[in-house]
Amino acid sequence: MTQGPVHLLEIAGDAGLRAAQETATLLREALAAHDSVSVATHAMTGADITTIQLLIAARKQAEASGKTLSLAAPPAGAFRDLLVATGCLSADGRPMTLDGAFWAPEIHKDKGVAA
């Protein structure tokens, strides 16, 4: 297992149901090899509820293993649109769920809310 800097994992293209197995494998392998993984979502062209479920499950698995999984940047594009449509984020990007610190990490840092 690699310790030290955060490993950047980019999820690109359509990250919806059809890519769920591949996305799950990428997340699992990254967490097996690294203590801290940051997921870049800016290159996603599509996403669905499966994408959200995979990220939540991976985050919980990371926490249970004493590791961390975070987003590399606030969500944008198709992924942000999905988070707004599902009620995870408000239209202005504010978190709407208990996982808000995960979906909108910059907002929580700015407001001093514990992640």
| Residue whose pair of structure tokens reads 């990371």 in the numeric block | 62
Per-residue pLDDT of the chain (115 residues; tens, 9 = 90+): 555 689 999 999 999 999 999 999 999 999 999 999 999 999 999 999 999 999 999 999 999 999 999 999 999 999 999 999 999 999 998 999 888 889 987 654 444 333 3
List of domains in the chain: 7-111 (3.30.750.24)
List, in sequence order, every beta strand (DSSP E) within the chain.
Answer: 7-10, 13-14, 36-40, 44-46, 68-71
pTM of the model: 0.86
